A and B are shown apart, each in its own frame.
Chain A
Amino acid sequence: MDSVELILASAVRLAVPLAFAALGEWIAERAGTLNISVEGMMLGGAFTAVAGAGLTGSASAGLLFGVAAGLLVAFVHACFSHRLSVNTYVVGLTLNVLVLGLTSFLLLKTESRQVDKLTIPLLSDIPVIGPALFDQRWPAYLLAALVPAAWWLVRRSRWGLEARAAGENPQSADVTGIDVNKRRRQALMLCGALAGLGGAYLAVAEVGTFNQNMTAGRGYMVIAAVIFGGWTLRGTLAGVLVFGAADAMRLALPALGYTLNPQFLVASPYILALIAMTFFATTRRGPAALGRPFVRGIT
């Protein structure tokens, strides 16, 4: 029973940074950008958050630096892929390599700084789910507001309607009078802010320092989560939790005395994503214009 509680708590803890980024990725994909650079956004966010925390002496302020770094990466990506119509995958990969190189080059030694834990009294004592849901670093609770906000923005707001139209059928959206590329840029900026926050959370909430390539493919895991979730918010979050759980198992199983091939466990989130895609490939479709640049006037 104890170990279940432990693994669940660890799963949620590991899923939190993914969840921030996945919210952003979900928004960006619904607007039609398959945003590869979410990895770079997270890594940049993590690095800048630690640097910012060192600079200001406050781990919480570091989070804002992380958001800013995510926004910067998103801005560059948005300009290239939705102003100059450069292939979004090429832009994304370039940015990822660039951020990885830059953060490795600038790698700095700082003392460990972490944001505070916020343990909610009583609720955190609930067996099994208590520690998982109510004993986390404080920024994790932002998700409680961000998730419904993101859902409302995409599913209910005027902006979301137009962004989804931009992702489904940009030609139609254009004819209807929607600035397709502007909506896509805006969605990408939202993704940058959220992914930056996710990366920052990883650095200043979970780990406390920055290590070279510390996101280690978490951005790609986020992309897999959106696909796993069939481009629904619920599914995406479920995907994030599943991947978090797989990660937690990797850490927990050896400690609990099970011997399992660690390489296999590292790969398990991706194997899960592949299996999920096999099952959903025929039934779930992403936004129809996902990943395709929109250029006006081509009919």
Chain B
Amino acid sequence: MSMPPSTEHARSAGTAAPAAAVPSVELRRITKRFGSVVACDDVSLSVRPGEIHGLLGQNGAGKSTLMKILTGLVVPDSGEIMMAGRHVEVNDPQTATALGIAMVHQHFSLVGRMRVWENAVLGELGRVDRDHARRVVNEVGERYGLAVNPDAYVDDLSTGERQRVELIKCLRRRPGLLILDEPTSVLTLAESRELFSVLRRVTTDENTTVILISHKLDEILHATDRVTIMRGGAVVARRDTAGTDARDLARAMVGREPATWTAASAVGSMDALVQGGRAATEGDVRLRLTDVRATARDGRPLLSGLSLHVRAGEILGIAGVEGNGQAALGDLLSSLLDLDGGTVEVGGSAVPTGEPGAMHRAGVGVVPEDRHASGCVLDMSVAENLVLTDLDQVSGSVLVSPRKLRERAARLIEEFDIAVPSPDTPMRLLSGGNQQKVVLARELAARPTVLVAAQPTRGLDVGATEYMTERIHQAARDGIAVLLISTELEEILTLAHRVAVIHRGAIVGEMTRADVDLERLGLMMGGRAA
């Protein structure tokens, strides 16, 4: 029972797209399992030549896996791929390239310590011709308005520029199909708009087909011709973009009527967030950073004179494009980073930086950006993970008390509603949402006066996102000073009382939630004073 292409077309008749008889790409009944998890369940997708096709879904809906199948990075268990009406086997990335499929990955596939032109020719065959490669980078850059210096090292470029390189790398091969995976997550508002106009040019001028993967409703509505919506590994709806709206899409994507602002945050619709600012409370300053400076090992500046303060009961949102010092800020408050200058004060007294455990002892709890790298130990049990930062609670100077360990774990599992068969279950077996709950539970159980939440909902589904959002709010109501570091503007607007913008390792502007003006915020995030 495959989805017959004719039905597809009948349903979407009336769009501006040319009425092509043969779809450019067609995926038929694709299924892929990873162990017991079904990433793609009988998925069919049909994309017309020259259209921008949106693939909408929450994190974990199977969008990325589907596209990895199309680019040969993942081989499906069953199903068929058709290109221009012919059956094709895509078993490795080389084949995909040969078929004219190019993909801009969410985490760029660039080699940082190579030059732009070297990256542009990476993965091709034949002799390396430096001058030719440089020329091509410039030509493609000019044609699409993606100017970048071919001799620059990728490491020295901003994330926006890196994406240009990634696009140039794809476009120079004149692909028939261009896939972009969450391309705007690292871009400012202005850069996103620029990207969409490039995509439009690519489709109209060269009849390239574009698939845009996103979990943000706004950009799907803004940039696509048609949209396919996935949930839980299956296609749940197909729409013409012109004939739908944010509410309709959100319902299809979440599977129920989304609650007001929490879901708006998860699905990336900013309209719902523009009104409604909550006033900040006037508590004592709990966390104060004064002119902090730090450099990376290779001499690049990480933080350059950053100052901020957070009051008790307040949520300060740090907005900014990824790679502008957010990671360093999180590391600093986890005692992972030593400073070249400046001070960190918690509750009015200075805390030494870079000294293991000092921040934690001073009352700073951290939900780190990458929970797998620094939030938890995947091969230890849930109970053990729950006490990692707070061993005094369950042990004397030598021995850990298994009884206390279990009791404490049981209490926290109940309090934080963590879905886990037993406290002894290895962390690795938990879903992302539950892993994040464990991290949050552990940090809050230590009764911090300051909570740092870095990208707290990254990679979580809507339910878990709602939970985290509510918990962070609760923390602030309980009088904790919350520093929310996020690259998702929606998340900041949902939660923060006050918004500060980070750019190149410093705070470049600040406004209260009630005064937020998206245009101005966007300019600040792009580094232009406003």
Contact = CB atoms under 8 A, between A and B. Distances in A.
Given A158-B126, A177-B97, A288 B113 contact: yes
A288 B112 contact: yes
B114 A177 contact: no
Interface stretch (A12-20, A79-87, A159-167, A250-258): A159-167
B109 A158 contact: no
Interface string A262-283: 0000000000000000000011
Interface in A115-169: 156-158, 161-162, 164-165, 168-169
Contacts of A299: 107
Contact of A168 (B114, B124, B125): B114
B299 A173 contact: no
A176 B92 CA distance: 10
Interface residues of A, number: 23
Given A161-B121, A285-B297, A172 B109 contact: yes
A209 B218 CA distance: 76
A82 to B, nearest CB: 18
A6 interface: no
Contacts of A285: 297-298
B108 A172 contact: yes
B298 A173 contact: no
Contact of B123 (A157, A164, A168, A178): A178
Contacts of B92: 177
A152 to B, nearest CB: 10
A282 B128 contact: no
A175 B122 contact: no
Interface string B84-98: 000000001110110
A174 interface: yes
B123 A283 contact: no
B430 interface: no
B297 A165 contact: no
B105 interface: yes
B419 interface: no
A168 B111 contact: yes
B90 to A, nearest CB: 12
A156 B128 contact: yes
Nearest to A172: B109
Contact of A173 (B97, B111, B112): B111
A167 B73 CA distance: 20
Given A174-B93, A177-B94, A178-B123, A165 B111 contact: yes
A165 B169 CA distance: 15
A42 to B, nearest CB: 30
A282 B297 contact: yes
A162 B125 CA distance: 10
B73 A173 contact: no
A158 B130 CA distance: 11
Contacts of B93: 174-177
Given A175-B93, A175-B105, A177-B94, A158 B299 contact: no
A45 to B, nearest CB: 32
B111 A169 contact: yes
Interface string B114-141: 1000100111111110000000000000
Nearest to A176: B123
B128 A157 contact: yes
A161 B128 contact: yes
A169 B128 contact: no
B110 interface: yes
Nearest to A282: B297
A288 to B, nearest CB: 7
A283 B93 CA distance: 35
B127 A158 contact: yes
A56 B510 CA distance: 81
A283 B299 CA distance: 7
A175 B102 CA distance: 10
Interface in A39-56: none
B128 A165 contact: no
Contact of B112 (A158, A169, A174): A169
Contacts of B124: 158
A158 B111 contact: no
Contacts of A165: 111, 114, 122
Q: Which residue of A164, A177, A285 has the most chain B CB atoms within 10 A of its CB atom?
A: A177
A157 to B, nearest CB: 6
Contacts of B299: 282-283
Contacts of B111: 164-165, 168-169, 172-173
Contact of A164 (B96, B107, B114, B127): B114
Contacts of B123: 162, 173, 176-178
Q: Which residue of B107, B122, B124, B128 has the most chain A CB atoms within 10 A of its CB atom?
A: B122
A184 to B, nearest CB: 15
B78 to A, nearest CB: 19
Contact of B118 (A161, A177, A283): A161
A178 B93 CA distance: 8
Nearest to B296: A282
Contacts of B118: 161
B297 A162 contact: no
Contact of A176 (B109, B112, B125): B109
Contacts of A177: 92-94, 96-97, 123
Given A177-B94, A177-B97, A162 B112 contact: no
A158 B346 CA distance: 54
Interface in A165-217: 165, 168-169, 171-178
Given A173-B122, A178-B122, A283 B127 contact: no
Contacts of A164: 111, 114
Interface in B255-284: none
B119 to A, nearest CB: 8
B289 to A, nearest CB: 25
B63 to A, nearest CB: 15
B112 A175 contact: no
Q: Which residue of A171, A173, A176 has the most chain B CB atoms within 10 A of its CB atom?
A: A176
B184 to A, nearest CB: 20
A173 B297 CA distance: 24
B118 to A, nearest CB: 6
Contacts of B108: 172
Contacts of A282: 297-299
A162 B111 CA distance: 10
Given A168-B111, A172-B108, A161 B298 contact: no
B114 A175 contact: no
Nearest to A175: B109
A297 B74 CA distance: 8
Interface of B: 73-74, 92-94, 96-97, 105, 107-114, 118, 121-128, 297-299
Given A158-B125, A164-B114, 19 more contacts: A156-B128, A158-B124, A158-B128, A161-B118, A162-B122, A164-B111, A165-B122, A168-B112, A168-B114, A175-B93, A176-B123, A177-B93, A177-B96, A177-B97, A178-B123, A282-B297, A282-B298, A285-B297, A297-B74
The 4 closest A-B pairs by CB, nearest first: A176-B123, A177-B93, A175-B109, A172-B109
11 contacts: A158-B125, A161-B128, A164-B111, A168-B113, A169-B110, A175-B109, A176-B93, A177-B97, A178-B123, A283-B299, A285-B297
